């Protein structure tokens, strides 16, 4: 993971910044990601591109600043589904609950322990024997990894390999069998305006389902504003901006994506995974989704997974 994120300010308050952040929920401060280029300011507002991973467990207080949200361990591992049937456009009535019922068994919560603390992300099951697709920033620096199925079953997992530039990693759940593998779609066939559903563990709330549309395609992350504030996040195990920093062309969606969704599924109305949720854009002063989220196209993810498996 190096999970793209925000850091604590000098005054201990929550101050989002521009740039690629890797939000974990560590229990102590973490290194800072140096933004890849100078900030863009439009209309006097600074924005931040935030990876959608979540801080684990408790509210961070004192000099570290306040966490966006705090949950106890039971909340973080909750398996109660929040899926609801929703009409997501004026012309089409999509039964989101049916999509969720199909895909939820194939999406896991990923809990990671690092030297900086703990973090929460999401993952997509690739095989019945426990191969899991997630973001590289979710498991960056992992000392231990636990995956939790939608029914609450837990497995220890190991990182088989990762590509930090593509922000893709593959995990192997130890001793797993009979898991429900996701159906992978074809991201080359996507269209702007197409309905999609996002599934993951924002804030550690497992089995969370949101819906929306594809807002844009081929969105280059380098075109998204970066920032100059170096004092922001209690949540971030981060990495210096180098040639290994995430760099990919993303799917943009208005389906709500928040910290903890990183590595989760973006699916079409047929329940096929067409993207891996990875980041969100947040204006200065905002700590949650504003309807601008990003996902790695599944065709790109398939290519990286194949490379990792063949190394």
Residues with catalytic roles: 137, 167, 262
CB atoms closer than 10 angstroms to residue 58: 15
Q: Are 23 and 8 in contact (CB under 8 A)?
A: no
Dist. CA 82–CA 64, nearest whole Å: 31
- Which residue is listed with tokens 């973080």? 76
The helix (run of H) or strand (run of E) holding residue 118 is strand 117-125
Name the token pair of 180: 């429900």
Residues whose CB is less than 8 angstroms from the CB of residue 201 and which lie 6 or more positions away in sequence, other chains included:
54, 76, 109, 110, 120, 121, 122, 207, 208, 260, 261, 264
Instruction: Name the burial class of residue 93, with classes exposed (0-12), middle (13-18) and buried (19+) by CB atoms within 10 angstroms of its CB.
Output: exposed
Residues whose CB is less than 8 angstroms from the CB of residue 182 and which lie 6 or more positions away in sequence, other chains included:
103, 106, 107, 124, 125, 126, 265, 273
List the one residue out of 238, 274, 282, 237 whose CA is nearest residue 257.
Answer: 282
Name the token pair of 54: 């979540």
């Amino acid at each position: 993971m190096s999970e793209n994120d925000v850091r604590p300010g000098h005054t201990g308050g929550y101050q989002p910044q521009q740039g690629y952040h890797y939000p974990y929920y560590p229990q102590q401060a973490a290194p800072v990601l140096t933004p890849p280029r100078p900030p863009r300011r439009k209309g006097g507002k600074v924005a931040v591109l935030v990876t959608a991973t979540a801080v684990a467990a408790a509210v961070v207080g004192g000099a570290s600043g306040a966490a966006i949200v705090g949950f106890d361990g039971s909340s973080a591992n909750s398996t109660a589904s929040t899926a609801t049937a929703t009409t997501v456009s004026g012309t089409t009535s999509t039964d989101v609950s049916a999509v969720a019922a199909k895909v939820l068994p194939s999406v896991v919560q990923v809990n990671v322990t690092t030297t900086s603390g703990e973090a929460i992300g999401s993952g997509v099951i690739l095989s019945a024997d426990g191969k899991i697709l997630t973001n590289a920033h979710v498991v960056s620096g992992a000392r231990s990894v636990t995956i939790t199925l939608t029914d609450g079953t837990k497995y220890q997992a190991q990182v088989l390999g990762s590509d930090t530039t593509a922000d893709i990693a593959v995990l192997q759940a130890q001793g797993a069998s009979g898991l429900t593998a996701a159906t992978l779609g074809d991201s080359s066939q996507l269209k702007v305006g197409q309905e999609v559903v996002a599934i993951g563990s924002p804030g550690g709330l497992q089995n969370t389902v949101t819906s929306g549309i594809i807002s844009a395609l081929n969105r280059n992350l380098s075109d998204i504003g970066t920032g100059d504030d170096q004092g922001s996040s209690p949540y971030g195990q981060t990495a210096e901006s180098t040639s290994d920093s995430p760099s990919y062309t993303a799917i943009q969606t208005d389906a709500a994506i928040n910290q903890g969704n990183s590595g989760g599924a973006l699916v079409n109305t047929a329940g096929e995974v067409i993207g891996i949720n990875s980041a969100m854009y947040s204006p200065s002063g905002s700590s949650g989704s504003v309807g601008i989220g990003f996902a790695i196209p599944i065709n790109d993810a398939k290519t990286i997974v194949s490379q990792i498996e063949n190394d």
